[in-house]
Amino acid sequence: MVTRPRPRVGVLALQGDVREHVRVLSDLGAEVATVRRPEELAQVDGLVLPGGESSVIDKLARAFGMRDPVRAAIAEGMPVYGTCAGLILLADRITDGIEGQQTFGGLDVTVRRNAFGSQVDSFEVDLDVPVLGRPPVHAVFIRAPLVVQAGEGVERLAALADGRVVAVRQGALLGTSFHPEVGGEQRFHALFLDMVRDRVG
């Protein structure tokens, strides 16, 4: 019997729902570290960008000297999973961003911030995600972004009933508009860990 390696993954811990991601990844058997500085990023094989406030994470990433190291890691093929604000940070293009807002980029998509409205407009829905099989994914949307355009190389993993895209994958990058870590859904994180194992292996 072949034992797959225990993946070493980080959660960018500048702002947002860091603890929820750490818990899910740990439950799935990963070796998890919080990442705030370039030397901590260098110790992991994959990175999660959590939900939170994308403009705040952007500012803190620059203040902590993390923007360029994360961009370099993405360019070098490090698997990265972004949820909600994390999806915004992975997008090459954003609409409705605040003045001067930047992203790490790498994902050939255009994302609209707060596409569904404010906190009071948060909602939950069951989504069919063929790559994850059955049952449907129970998705929690909290001030969520939306993928409004995706390049040819982007795989659309899930959409709402009206066709609006809310989960994508491109190479080693994975992004969801919603928060699996909040709703008790682990399969997206498991998919991400498989991507990390494939790269390390």
Distance CA 8, CA 43 (A): 8
* Residue corresponding to tokens 């500012």: 59
Name the residue among 84, 112, 92 with its Cα closest to residue 175.
84
- Residue 120, pLDDT > 60, answer no
Confidence of residue 118 (pLDDT cuts 50, 70, 90): low
Number of helices (H), then strands (E), in the chain: 7, 12
pLDDT per residue as tens digits for the range 140-157: 888 889 999 999 999 999
Q: What is the CA radius of gyration of the chain?
A: 15
pLDDT per residue as tens digits for the range 57-114: 999 999 999 999 999 999 999 999 999 999 999 999 999 777 888 999 999 999 998 7
Per-domain residue ranges of the chain: 8-200
Regarding pTM above 0.85, the answer is yes
Distance CA 182, CA 115 (A): 19
Distance CA 38, CA 155 (A): 30
DSSP of 68-128:
HHHHHHHHTT--EEEETHHHHHHEEEEESPPTT------EEEEEETTTT-SGGG-EEEEE-
Q: Which CATH architecture has domain 8-200?
A: 3-Layer(aba) Sandwich (3.40)
pLDDT greater at residue 100 or residue 173: 173
Active site residues: 84, 179, 181
| Mean pLDDT, residues 18-24 taken together | 96
